[in-house]
Structures are given as C-alpha cells and as structure tokens.
Amino acid sequence: MTPEAALQAVEQQLAKMSAALVAADALAAEQSSAQLRRDLDALIQASRGLQGQPWPEALRPRMQAVSNQLAMQREQLARLGALVDRQAASILPPAEPAPTYGQAGSAARIYRSTT
C-alpha cells in the first residue's frame, strides 16, 4: 500500500470515528476505533516503505491534520469518559468513600502512584 493510500484510509476512518462520537453510537465508535488502529498500522508500514526518505511534501499537511484530529478525538473521549463516570456515580454510589486528600499525612489521591 502506498503512503498516500494508507493516509487516505486513515482520514476516512477518522471521519467515521468522529461521526460515531458525535452520534454517541458506542458500537460504531468501537468498530471505528478497531479499524482506525488497523489503518494506522498500515500507515506505519507504508511509511517504512519510504526507506528513510522524507514524506512527500504534498502529504505533510494531511499528516498534520490527522495528528490534530487524533488529539481532538483523544480529548473528546476523555471528556466523554468523565461524563459517563459522573453519570454512573449519580446512579450508583461508590463502594467506599474516596477522600480527595487521602489519609492524614499521605499525598493527595491525584498525586499517588498507582503502582
């Protein structure tokens, strides 16, 4: 697959993913996400085919646009996840209280390592 064809597949899948997120269609978003990962893998493979040469100048703005779209979608998914967490917490209270600042003398929950 050529880099341009791989990039076009990624762009099309990003559009589908955006539409699924706007429509709040979880099934379509999940399917689009899986296909987007496959298309991004194909793009990586296509870029390896350039054998160290730079991307064609005509494709660079499109690559930057894809990068920007991916960043926006990550932010949108993070916001959606936070909204779902809040909605779930309003329906189902947490099993145990989780104080913001933790036990006396410990670091705030947000700063504690999960490991």
Answer yes or no: is pLDDT of 38 > 90.
yes
Q: How far apart are CA 53 and CA 56, in angstroms?
A: 9
Share of the chain above pLDDT 70, in %: 81
Which amino acid appears at position 63 of this protein?
Answer: M
Give the angle 36-38-41 at the CA atoms, nearest 5°: 110
pLDDT at 85 over 70: yes
Its pTM stands at 0.69
Q: What is the pLDDT of residues 96-115, one digit of tens each?
A: 666 666 555 555 555 555 55
pLDDT tens figures, 4-22: 999 999 999 999 999 998 8
Domain map (residue ranges) of the chain:
3-91
Phi/psi of residue 21, nearest 5 degrees: -70, -40
pLDDT at residue 110 in the model:
54
Which residue matches tokens 């916001």?
Answer: 79
For the ranges 6-10, 26-30, 66-70, 103-107, the lowest mean pLDDT is seen at: 103-107
User: Which residues, 6 or more positions from 98, have their beta carbon under 8 angstroms from its beta carbon?
Assistant: 109
Higher-confidence residue: 107 or 77? 77
Give every CB contact of residue 21 below 8 A, 6+ residues apart in sequence: 29, 73, 76, 77, 80
Structure tokens at 66: 């894809």
